[in-house]
Amino acid sequence: MASEPTTVTITGGGGQIGYALMFRIAAGDMLGPDRPVRLRLLEIPQGMRAAEGAALELQDCAFPLLADVDVTDDPLTAFNGTRIAMLVGARPRTAGMERGDLLAANAGIFGPQGNAIGAVADDGVRVVVVGNPANTNALIAAASASPDIPSERFTALTRLDHNRAVGQLAEALGVAPGDIADVVIWGNHSATQFPDVSHAILPDGMPVLEALAERLGGEAAATAWLDDVFIPRVAKRGAEIIEVRGSSSVASAANAAIDHVRDEQLGTRRGLTSAAVVSRGEYGVPEGLVCSFPVTSRGHDDGYRVVEGLDLDERARARVAASVDELALERDAVRALGVL
């Protein structure tokens, strides 16, 4: 193998998304064809057998880039020297559980995992939180890893929402998804998110808004489609998948997590993408909230940077503010639990 393997830790390694992630990572889809990986799968005792079974299958694939696989239920072992941590395992919402109960249950997972990352991960670790409520779980993990690991190394996944928005636009415009650049997801990975197409363009530079107006019969029709169809569809796509499939998104979530880490590590290609990062006050979002913004990365361990200076009209600002208010409420609920 060419270089020292990069240690990638997946929590919830015995679960659905973990299973969809690990084979693609081992095949080189995330870090490229020249970077060998060492996988660490963290589970709780009940999930260990499933993770161990997946590890056997990984061995049977004989991936040239896969140096080794460890399965453990000990966070200190799982995060020891890790460079990329993908926090997928979370406590799902069950019948009768209030949002506060869900936040508390997940604080009990992401707090200790953040502590362990702070104690034993590589100084250059980058963390993406997938497990819901992803933004606030990332906030908890980042606070718990502080001061050993700077909070900007923690992100949460909104790339799935971003990809969903691109997919819906591509279908509406009759173009390929790769033709659409500069869509932005603002806010929380929840139904309050704001999928924003006002800066999106096609390869010839034509604004997506203009293309939609042409295709749908005028500006008013395009605005109505965005408000009544596109925004709710993207924002509630997770619920639609659960209803149609009978369980939450798996392959598309794993694919988005791979896109997120790949672009962060290797650099964004055309235009910007979306990721939830720790706010430094950009666009008036209170400092410290983990909020989805327009971002780019130059790769080379630079991480995601918020693209500043995009114009937001009054309606857009109100939509961003509504989602940011929800993030602030989640943060306050976690604070009230004494977690932050």
Between 238 and 294, whose beta carbon lies closer to ligand LMR?
A: 238
Measure the CA–CA gap between 47 and 13, rounded to whole angstroms: 8
Between 189 and 319, whose beta carbon lies closer to ligand NAD?
A: 189
* 137, 106 contact by CB (below 8 A): yes
Tell me how far the alpha carbon of residue 316 is from its chain's centroid. 22
Residue 90 DSSP class: -
CB neighbours of 173 closer than 8 A, spacing ≥ 6? 180, 202, 208, 211, 212, 215
Smallest distance, ligand NAD to C-beta of residue 126, A:
16
| Residue least distant from ligand NAD (Cβ) | 15
Between 243 and 311, whose beta carbon lies closer to ligand LMR?
A: 243
Concatenate the DSSP letters of all residues of 219-259 into one string.
Answer: HHHHHHHIIIIIHHHHHTHHHHHHHHHSS---HHHHHHHHH
* 156, 189 contact by CB (below 8 A): yes
What, of ligand LMR, ligand NAD, none, does residue 44 touch, CB below 5 to 8 Å by kind? ligand NAD
What, of ligand NAD, ligand LMR, none, does residue 16 touch, CB below 5 to 8 Å by kind? ligand NAD
Q: Verify whether residue 189 is a known catalytic residue.
A: yes
What, of ligand NAD, ligand LMR, none, does residue 241 touch, CB below 5 to 8 Å by kind? ligand LMR
Smallest distance, ligand LMR to C-beta of residue 167, A:
13
Between 35 and 189, whose beta carbon lies closer to ligand NAD?
A: 189
Q: Which parts of this chain interact with ligand LMR (CB under 6 A)?
A: 132, 160, 238, 241, 248-249, 253
What, of ligand NAD, ligand LMR, none, does residue 94 touch, CB below 5 to 8 Å by kind? none
Smallest distance, ligand LMR to C-beta of residue 160, A:
6
Return the structure tokens found at 261.
Answer: 């880490």
* 121, 149 contact by CB (below 8 A): yes
Smallest distance, ligand NAD to C-beta of residue 318, A:
24
* Bridge partners (DSSP) listed for residue 194: 186
Smallest distance, ligand NAD to C-beta of residue 112, A:
8
- 331, containing H or E segment: helix 314-336
Residue of 189, 199, 260, 300 marked catalytic: 189
Task: For the chain, count helices (H), then strands (E).
Answer: 12, 11
What, of ligand LMR, ligand NAD, none, does residue 114 touch, CB below 5 to 8 Å by kind? none
Phi, then psi, of 41 in degrees rounded to 5: -110, 120
Between 12 and 238, whose beta carbon lies closer to ligand LMR?
A: 238
Between 188 and 297, whose beta carbon lies closer to ligand NAD?
A: 188
End-to-end Cα, the chain, rounded Å = 43
Q: To 10 degrees, what angle do helices 251-266 and 159-173 make? A: 100
Q: Which parts of this chain interact with ligand NAD (CB under 6 A)?
A: 11-12, 14-18, 42-44, 46-47, 88-90, 92, 109, 130-132, 134, 157, 160, 189, 248-250, 253
Smallest distance, ligand NAD to C-beta of residue 215, A:
29
State the catalytic residues.
189
